[in-house]
Amino acid sequence: PAEPTIPPNTLNFTSVSRTPMIAGDDLIVPPGYKWSALTKQGDPIGSTLGAPAFRSTAAKRFDTTGAEAELQFGDNHDGMAYFPLPYGSKSSDRGLLAINHEAARANVISGFRFVGVTATTDPATLDPAGETAMNPDVVRKQKAFHGVSVAEVYRDSAGKWQVQANSTYARKVHADTPIAIGGPARGHAAMRTGADPTGTQMRGTLGNCGSGATPWGTYLTCEEDSHKNYFATREMKADDPRFQDPRWARYSLVPGYNRDYTWHFVDKRFDLAVEPNETNRFGWIVEIDPYDPNWQPVKRTAMGRFAHENVAHLVNADKRVAFYMGDDQNFDYIYKFVTAKAMDPDNRTANRGLLDDGTLYVAKFNDDGSGTWMPLIQGQNGLTAENGFPDQASVLIWARLAADKLGATQMDRPEWLASDAGSGWVYATLSNNTGRGSATAPGGTTAAPRAAQPKNAANPRDKNLHGHIIRLRDAGGDVTATKFSWNVVLLAGTGTSDTPDPANKGTINGDAFSSPDSVMFDAWQRLWIGSDAADALKSSDWTGKGTDWSGLGGDMLLAMDTRTGQVKRFLLAPDGAEVCGAQLTPDGRALFVNIQHPGTEQPRDIPVEAMTWPDKIPVAQGGVVRSTTVVITREDGGVIGM
Ligand code: FEO
Ligand code: CA
Ligand code: CA
Ligand code: CA
């Protein structure tokens, strides 16, 4: 059958526009659209799991135990995928949502009285009363609010989306869930610990940032800062030889307790002095089958270890599959993994080993618009034992150092990628990098800053405050090719020249935004762009004209018609939130979006403790702001944007 014709106007909505561009304790969508909260942090994923209803009082907000939290939606909703039910259907009325929970906010709104722990703080001085970082149940609760929720969702007879309370699919894969290790690093000496002397079975997934799905209906959750944020030690001092190991430095393992979490006081596998290999078991892509709760999730080591942002795929004519991935750090790389074998489209379980066998490549962008995928294969191009790579597992565990050796192109914080199966273009967001072209790179998200690099054609702005979007396409319509072409889609930034640095004016055809992060390509050739300006936005500059943030502000979701390049703003998030994980039902009538950490970052007019979105229950009655999946529909039930 012929493909349905795409209407000329797929951005047929009124742009969300405000002055200043901030939503307060609210979420704004265009006129004629409505939103509702579908999964909120602390709500039960399914009654079959026995999770209690959400409790929150003025005296104790997020009143939940660690055990209960393992059965509830987590915090910091990020990447997400919609899987129609039943498998193989195109159902837009019932499906499974797999939802990443990137982090657990260690602050008052999550009910954690987190005590700032620094390199000089001894655990004995931590707050001994109540919910301190030393309380084992607080650690369990923090762990439980990480990972992946799998929830069955459906559209009820009134058209409202609901979580199926008694679903047999409902579950949480969290920081203590048993997970297998697959691929070339399975069983390697660097993957073995006291609890797992074989290096084949571990507990937990962490730092679950972006995501992807395979063509055989499994979910891929991406561990971003998991290898560093959770690991610390008080036994090893700054002059310990291990901290001089360039491999640890490259993966941001540095002395001190100055981390987001203090689990190493309670769970010794996070203490670098006790289990120095446990960190090697994080920073991977993890495959989860949402349709089969009994199939154990697997870390796919063939795809390399770094700060995985998300993963997008394309299927080749010969049915081999290419997966495109970013390493989100200033001056880090874009990668591609190509399966060695073809997938079987007719037998989904026959594809269960596919991600354990293939070739990992890293991208080199030439200034003339060409590019090369360079293979990370032991024994080739200097990836030898003498250079620290005695086997393929070492190449994958230390993929960043292998890619350094090959001279890959250092990018401006590679965040998400999204693929257009029709044309073969893969869109990639480069969020920002104010260190580009400077004498010394500021830290950004990295604890061990990389040396700054000059601009180049693929990263064309010095002091790249607002980021940009590029796209690349493998040569000859063959996604296994080692050559590609690429171009810049847009430079993000202000819509005006009324900015102290004229370079901060973007090249956007339409509504202005900063710091592109999550992206999703839909069946109508639209690229949905979620912004995350908080890292770049360290002041209240956004309020005024004549600043580098003129006309910008809170984080938002935009849609770009990739046929014309036109961009329109579809959603403005609550203050301090980031917009992640957009997904459309196959019929285009429901748009799921994750609102991550509302109230926590900038810009913000209201203190986080005073925010109560999305419930809007008064604080005095236990109201609290919560990370949430929202579902957006047209008031008349029509297709979004048509
Ligand atoms: Fe979790 Fe790079 O965003
Ligand atoms: Ca991100
Ligand atoms: Ca980001
Ligand atoms: Ca964030």
Residue 375 belongs to domain with CATH number: 2.120.10.30
Whether 68 is covered by a domain: the verdict is no
Gap from CA of 160 to ligand 3 centroid (Å): 31
pLDDT digits (tens, 9 = 90+) for 69-120: 999 999 999 999 999 999 999 999 999 999 999 998 754 444 444 433 433 3
- Ligand minimally distant from the alpha carbon of residue 577: 4
Whether 451 is covered by a domain: the verdict is yes
Q: Determine if ligand 1 sits within 6 Å of the CB of residue 578.
A: no
Q: What is the dihedral of CA 392, 102, 569, 612, to 10 degrees?
A: 180
Mean pLDDT of 328-350: 97
Q: Determine if ligand 1 sits within 6 Å of the CB of residue 278.
A: no
Measured from the Cα of 224, ligand 1's closest atom is 1
Gap from CA of 308 to ligand 2 centroid (Å): 10
Cα 27 from Cα 628, distance rounded (Å): 11
What ipTM was predicted for this assembly?
Answer: 0.98
Gap from CA of 597 to ligand 2 centroid (Å): 12
Angle at CA 286, nearest 5°, toward 255 and 396? 60
pLDDT digits (tens, 9 = 90+) for 5-42: 899 999 999 999 988 889 999 999 999 999 999 999 99
Q: What is the pLDDT of residue 496?
A: 84
- Ligand minimally distant from the alpha carbon of residue 76: 4
Q: What is the pLDDT of residue 428?
A: 99
Measured from the Cα of 207, ligand 1's closest atom is 1
pLDDT digits (tens, 9 = 90+) for 504-545: 999 999 999 999 999 999 999 999 999 999 777 765 566 667
Q: What share of the chain is helix, strand, coil (3-state, %, to 5)?
A: 15, 30, 55
Gap from CA of 533 to ligand 4 centroid (Å): 9
Q: What is the pLDDT of residue 543?
A: 64
Q: What is the pLDDT of residue 541?
A: 64
**3-class DSSP state of 286:** strand
How distant is the alpha carbon of residue 549 from its chain centre? 25
As a whole number of Å, the end-to-end CA separation of the chain is 22
Measured from the Cα of 413, ligand 1's closest atom is 2
Gap from CA of 223 to ligand 2 centroid (Å): 11
Q: What is the pLDDT of residue 122?
A: 43
- Ligand minimally distant from the alpha carbon of residue 602: 4
Whether 410 is covered by a domain: the verdict is yes
Whether 286 is covered by a domain: the verdict is yes
* β-bridge partners, 520: 528
Whether 42 is covered by a domain: the verdict is no
Give the pair of three-digit tokens for residue 75.
């915090």
Q: Which domain holds residue 225?
A: 76-101+148-634
Mean pLDDT of 309-321: 98
CB 157 within 8 A of CB 37: no
Cα 565 from Cα 490, distance rounded (Å): 9
| Closest C-alpha to 396, from 412, 383, 414, 386 | 383
Measured from the Cα of 445, ligand 1's closest atom is 2
Q: How many domains does the chain contain in total?
A: 1
**Mode of pairing for the β-strands spanning 509-510 and 566-572:** parallel
Measured from the Cα of 210, ligand 1's closest atom is 1
pLDDT digits (tens, 9 = 90+) for 189-222: 999 999 999 999 999 999 999 999 999 999 999 9
Angle at CA 454, nearest 5°, toward 448 and 455? 115
Cα 404 from Cα 332, distance rounded (Å): 9
Percent of the chain with pLDDT over 70: 91
Cα 510 from Cα 560, distance rounded (Å): 9
Asked if the model's pLDDT at residue 636 lies above 70, the reply is yes
Q: Categorise residue 581: left if φ over 0, alpha if ψ from -120 to 50, beta otherwise.
A: left
Asked if the model's pLDDT at residue 68 lies above 50, the reply is yes
- 75: Cβ contacts below 8 Å, ≥ 6 apart: 41, 101, 103, 104, 105, 110, 145, 146, 597, 627
Q: What is the pLDDT of residue 445?
A: 41
How distant is the alpha carbon of residue 198 from its chain centre? 30
- Ligand minimally distant from the alpha carbon of residue 519: 2
Q: Determine if ligand 1 sits within 6 Å of the CB of residue 209.
A: yes
Percent of the chain with pLDDT over 90: 74
Mean pLDDT of 179-183: 98
Q: Which residues, chain by chain, have CB under 5 Å from ion ligand 2?
A: 415, 517
Q: Determine if ligand 1 sits within 6 Å of the CB of residue 102.
A: yes
Cα 563 from Cα 331, distance rounded (Å): 30
| Closest C-alpha to 641, from 592, 595, 588, 593 | 588
CB 437 within 8 A of CB 463: yes
Pick the more confident residue, 117 or 601: 601
**DSSP E strands: which ranges in 129-242?**
147-155, 161-163, 171-173, 178-182, 201-203, 208-213, 219-223
CA-to-CA separations, 368 to 373, 404, 480, 494, in angstroms, rounded: 15, 22, 21, 27
Whether 283 is covered by a domain: the verdict is yes
Q: Determine if ligand 1 sits within 6 Å of the CB of residue 309.
A: yes
Asked if the model's pLDDT at residue 126 lies above 60, the reply is no
Q: What is the pLDDT of residue 422?
A: 96
Q: Determine if ligand 1 sits within 6 Å of the CB of residue 70.
A: no
| Closest C-alpha to 89, from 584, 583, 586, 524 | 586
Residue with CA at minimum distance from ligand 1 atom 1: 209
Q: Which residues, chain by chain, have CB under 5 Å from ion ligand 3?
A: 517, 532
Measured from the Cα of 328, ligand 1's closest atom is 2
Gap from CA of 168 to ligand 2 centroid (Å): 30
Whether 12 is covered by a domain: the verdict is no
Q: Determine if ligand 1 sits within 6 Å of the CB of residue 224.
A: yes
How distant is the alpha carbon of residue 75 from its chain centre? 13
Average pLDDT over the chain, rounded to whole? 91
Q: Determine if ligand 1 sits within 6 Å of the CB of residue 225.
A: no
Whether 120 is covered by a domain: the verdict is no
Mean pLDDT of 361-372: 98
